[in-house]
Amino acid sequence: MNIQFGRFRITLLFWPTVVAGVALGLLLGLGTWQMQRAAEKQRVLAEHRSKAQSIAIALHDDPRAPADSLHLHPVTALGTLDGERTMLLDNRIRDSVAGYEVLVPLRLQGSDVAVLVNRGWLARGAQRAVKPTVEHPPGEVRVVGVAVRPERSYRFVEMLETGSRWPHIVQFVAIDEMQTLVGYRLLPVVLRLGADDPLALRTGWPTVTIEPQRHYGYAVQWYGLAIALLVTYLAACTRRHT
């Protein structure tokens, strides 16, 4: 197909145009996806700021509250830590050092339900086969933190290594599988301890893993590549007509 603009003629061949169109659509789609991700992260940050000012929910008084209402909400819980069923969340990096986040069930007072408590980060030893020892206080404890709904995991790997023993090393948080592992019901959220809690290890939880500004930067890159592709293709198809 030929398109005439004054002294310039644009010749569009079928297959090169199809390939360029698909590539252009892909680049624009990636840019739009990054914009959507940025908007989603901004919504999460705004929700976190709003809920941070709320009164803490006592999980031991209302253990059946839905995960959506608890997510990012300040919470407190009273119960007993089941230290024999400690889990170590693998591949947690702090300051370029590999380590684990320590997850331990808290059996809620007056209930047959427990909540997973994330006590924070612990550095991994020189030998991966040697698991760190984590001491948990006996008896009843009160913990304070923020409830977080576990992120959806993409099952490229199994949650648990075959033949693993307690404390289990897990690759992600999957409440349904962890309930089977510990042998009792778990709330559908994880309680991340606040930095001031006496049981906290190293906390400093990020509200989002990637800030909205970075998503906007990625979007600009994808849109820029789309514009560059369009200009380059049209320039390659354009000839001056004499």
**Can you spell out the DSSP letters for 100-149?**
EEEEEEEEETTSSEEEEEEEEEEE--SSTTSPPP-----SEEEEEEEEEP
Question: What span, in angstroms and rounded, lies between the C-alpha atoms of 110 and 81?
Answer: 14
Instruction: For residue 207, name the pLDDT band (cuts at 50, 70, 90).
Output: confident
Question: What span, in angstroms and rounded, lies between the C-alpha atoms of 164 and 171?
Answer: 12
Half-sphere exposure of 183 (CA within 13 A, CB side): 4
pLDDT of residue 3: 67
Going through 129-222 in order, the beta strands assigned E by DSSP cover 140-148, 168-170, 185-193
pLDDT of residue 133: 84
| Residues pairing with 91 in the sheet | none
SS3 (DSSP) at 150: coil
Instruction: For residue 158, name the pLDDT band (cuts at 50, 70, 90).
Output: low
Question: What span, in angstroms and rounded, lies between the C-alpha atoms of 164 and 95?
Answer: 28
pLDDT of residue 5: 65
Per-residue pLDDT of 105-115, as tens digits, reads: 999 998 889 99
- What DSSP designation does 53 have? T
Per-residue pLDDT of 171-186, as tens digits, reads: 889 898 899 989 999 9
Phi and psi angles of residue 133, each rounded to the nearest 5 degrees, phi first: -95, 130
- What DSSP designation does 63 have? T
Instruction: For residue 26, name the pLDDT band (cuts at 50, 70, 90).
Output: very high
- Which residue do the tokens 């709330």 mark? 187
Output 63 or 194, whichever has higher pLDDT.
194
User: Is 49 in contact with 73 (CB distance < 8 Å)?
Assistant: no
Per-residue pLDDT of 65-102, as tens digits, reads: 777 778 888 999 999 999 999 999 998 888 888 899 99
pLDDT of residue 156: 47
Instruction: For residue 152, name the pLDDT band (cuts at 50, 70, 90).
Output: low
pLDDT of residue 205: 78
